[in-house]
Amino acid sequence: MDRHLVVALVYDRLCTFEFGCVTELFALERPELDVEWYRFAVCASEPGPIRAAGGITVAAPYTLRMLERAATIVVPGWRDPDETPPEPLLRKIRAAYRRGARLCSICSGVFVLAAAGVLDGKTVTTHWRYADKLQKRYPQLNVKPDALYVDEGQVITSAGSAAGIDMLLHLVRRDYGSAIANRVAQRLVVPPHREGGQAQFLPRPLPADDSGRLAKLMDWVRVNPALPHTLRSLAEHAAMSPRTLQRQFHDATGMAPYEWLLRERVAIARELLEAQTRLPMARIAERAGFGSEESLRRHFRRIALTSPGAYRRKFGDGAA
C-alpha cells in the first residue's frame, strides 16, 4: 500500500462538485509546503463512458484495481441513494477496509460504504436530506444528521458538497498538522478549520445583530484563551444574557459555548505543539487556557484523538 496515494472513485452520472473538491485538495502540486505531498489517481467504478453533471464526460485512467494500492479512497457522492452500487466495487471497498485503507465519503457517497458493510456499528453523517433514508435502510449505523463530518478513524464521512472540503482539510490536518492544513485552506480561500460537529445549516436565521457581537466575542476569546471564561463572563462581554448567548452559539456553530471554547483551546494547543517544540507542556496548557497539564491531556485526547505528546512528535517543527 502506497501511504501517500489517494484514489478518487468516479462513476456514471458523477457528482462534479464533490469530485472537484477531491481533485483540488489532492491532485494539485504544492511545492511551497516542502513536504512529500499526496499522489493522486482516479479510477472508474464501471466501464465508460463516465457522464458527469454539467454535460461533461470523464475518461478515468484506471480501473478498480487501483483501489488495491490506495492508502486513502474517496467516494465523492453516489448517483442515486436508491441504487445499489455494483458488486465488484463493493468487493474492492471491503478488501481495502480489511487491509487498513482509509475510506472517505462525501454526501451520498456514504451509501456506497454502507452497502459494502464497512460502516456497521459506526457513527456516520451525510447530507441532511439523506439522513433519514440512510438510517432506515441501515439501522446498524448511528447517523448524525447535523454534523459536517464524522471521523471514526479508518472511516470518515461528510455531509453535502462544501462540507466535503472541511472533511478533506481535516484529513490534511491529521496527516500533516494544522500549520500545513491552514496553508492549504489559505490557498483555497476557505476557513482553515470547521469542526466536524458544527451544524450543517442554521436551523433558523440568527437574530439581527448589527454590531456583530457574537463574531467579536469569538475573536476576543481566540486572542485571550487563557482568561477564566465562564458562560456569565462571556455573556457579559458580549452584552447578552446567558440564555441568548447559548442560543446564538448553538445556532451559529451547533455547539454550546463551553464546547466551542474547549475546541478553540485545543486548536491553539495544536499550533503551539507544532511551532514551540521546546516549550514545556505545562506552559502550553497555560497559554492555551487549560490551566493544568491534566486538563490539556484529557480534552486534547477527546477532541484530537491523540495525546499532546504524540501530536508534538508527529507534527512538531523538525519532525520527520
Query: What's the confidence (pLDDT) of residue 215?
Result: 84
Question: Does residue 282 sit within a domain?
Answer: yes
pTM, to two decimals: 0.74
Q: Are residues 31 and 130 in the same domain?
A: yes
pLDDT by residue (tens digit) across 5-63? Answer: 999 999 999 999 999 999 999 999 899 898 999 999 999 999 878 999 888 999 999 99
The DSSP code sequence of 241-280 is -HHHHHHHHHHHHSS-HHHHHHHHHHHHHHHHHHH-TTS-
Q: Are residues 72 and 16 in the same domain?
A: yes
Domain boundary among 188, 212, 228: 188
Question: Does residue 85 sit within a domain?
Answer: yes
For 209, phi and psi rounded to 5 degrees? -150, 80
Question: Does residue 320 sit within a domain?
Answer: yes
Residue 105, SS3 per DSSP:
strand
Q: Are residues 105 and 180 in the same domain?
A: yes
Question: Does residue 198 sit within a domain?
Answer: no
Q: Are residues 132 and 227 in the same domain?
A: no
Q: Are residues 240 and 108 in the same domain?
A: no
Domain holding 68, by residue range, is 2-188
Query: What's the confidence (pLDDT) of residue 202?
Result: 39
Q: Are residues 163 and 249 in the same domain?
A: no
Residue 74, SS3 per DSSP:
strand
pLDDT by residue (tens digit) across 89-102? Answer: 999 999 999 999 99
Q: Are residues 65 and 102 in the same domain?
A: yes
Question: Does residue 195 sit within a domain?
Answer: no
pLDDT top residue among 317 and 102: 102
Q: Are residues 176 and 296 in the same domain?
A: no
Question: Does residue 129 sit within a domain?
Answer: yes
pLDDT by residue (tens digit) across 104-146? Answer: 999 999 999 999 999 999 999 999 899 999 999 999 999 988 8
> Which one-letter DSSP state was computed for residue 85?
P
Query: What's the confidence (pLDDT) of residue 1?
Result: 67
Q: Are residues 136 and 209 in the same domain?
A: no
Question: Does residue 196 sit within a domain?
Answer: no
pLDDT by residue (tens digit) across 155-184? Answer: 999 998 788 898 999 999 889 988 888 889
Q: Are residues 210 and 180 in the same domain?
A: no
Question: 252-266 burial, b if ≥16 CB within 10 A, otherwise e?
Answer: bbbbebebbbbbbbb
Contact 269, 310 (CB under 8 A): no
Cell output for 93: 471497498
CATH number at residue 217: 1.10.10.60
Contact 102, 73 (CB under 8 A): yes
Domain boundary among 139, 154, 188: 188
Question: Does residue 173 sit within a domain?
Answer: yes
Query: Among 176, 149, 147, 182, which residue's Cα sits nearest to residue 164?
Result: 149
- The number of distinct structural domains making up the chain is 2
CATH number at residue 59: 3.40.50.880
Q: Are residues 178 and 218 in the same domain?
A: no
Q: Are residues 88 and 234 in the same domain?
A: no
